[in-house]
Chains A and B, each alone.
Chain A
Amino acid sequence: AQSVTQLGSHVSVSEGALVLLRCNYSSSVPPYLFWYVQYPNQGLQLLLKYTSAATLVKGINGFEAEFKKSETSFHLTKPSAHMSDAAEYFCAVSGSGAGSYQLTFGKGTKLSVIP
């Protein structure tokens, strides 16, 4: 079964600083990988998706993520944090075969941006 580990349930950065949110997955076959963002009292919104077309994936709001097969990682980065980036971020991996449409989510990382 797929699993996703997000390191750090809370991350704080200063406005303008680099954002790095870590995600590791366990799978024998490179799956689809996703990052979602959840703003307070809202549903999850897709930030970006890895589909094996390119290891560096660009998403919305200036975020990007790099797929590293050798490290089974899919970390999310943004060069300069903005106050509006404060939210909870979820890494997710799709299943394989018959379960390929299910997503397994990490426990989430809450990002705080300090002015």
Chain B
Amino acid sequence: DAGVIQSPRHEVTEMGQEVTLRCKPISGHDYLFWYRQTMMRGLELLIYFNNNVPIDDSGMPEDRFSAKMPNASFSTLKIQPSEPRDSAVYFCASSLSDQGGEQYFGPGTRLTVT
């Protein structure tokens, strides 16, 4: 398996622009997680899905952030409008419900908002 795939790997955008981050989980995994990593706050869980349904979005910082999972093999995290404080590395991870919670992480998308 190719592992969790994220695109783009790097994104540089200007404040106010819309940003869309993409994730393809490991085939067969039924949980998908979006995290944000910054020096100040560490690794934060933003939202997670089970069988394509959002289960907990309490970590989404504000209404500018939205996430969707239209099917089992694709998810997006959208920021509209983007702000400089959104600059971070965003990770997607997936897991299988009968594997005791271990999550497999993608390589991340480094977002820079100028």
Give the A interface residue count (CB, 8 A). 20
Partner of B31, one of A51, A101, A107: A101
* Minimum C-beta distance from A36 to chain B (A): 8
**Are B101 and A43 in contact (CB-based, < 8 A)?**
no
Residue of B nearest to A106 (CB): B42
Q: Interface segment, B13-21, B43-51, B67-75?
A: B43-51
**Are B108 and A43 in contact (CB-based, < 8 A)?**
yes
**Are B101 and A100 in contact (CB-based, < 8 A)?**
yes
What total count of A-B pairs have CB within 8 Å? 49
**Are B48 and A101 in contact (CB-based, < 8 A)?**
yes
Residue of A nearest to B43 (CB): A105
**Are A102 and B45 in contact (CB-based, < 8 A)?**
yes
B87-114 vs A, CB cutoff 8 Å, 1 = contact: the mask equals 0000101010100111111111000000
B57 close to A (CB within 8 Å): no
Across-interface contacts of B106 in A (CB, < 8 A): 43
Across-interface contacts of B43 in A (CB, < 8 A): 44, 90, 105, 108
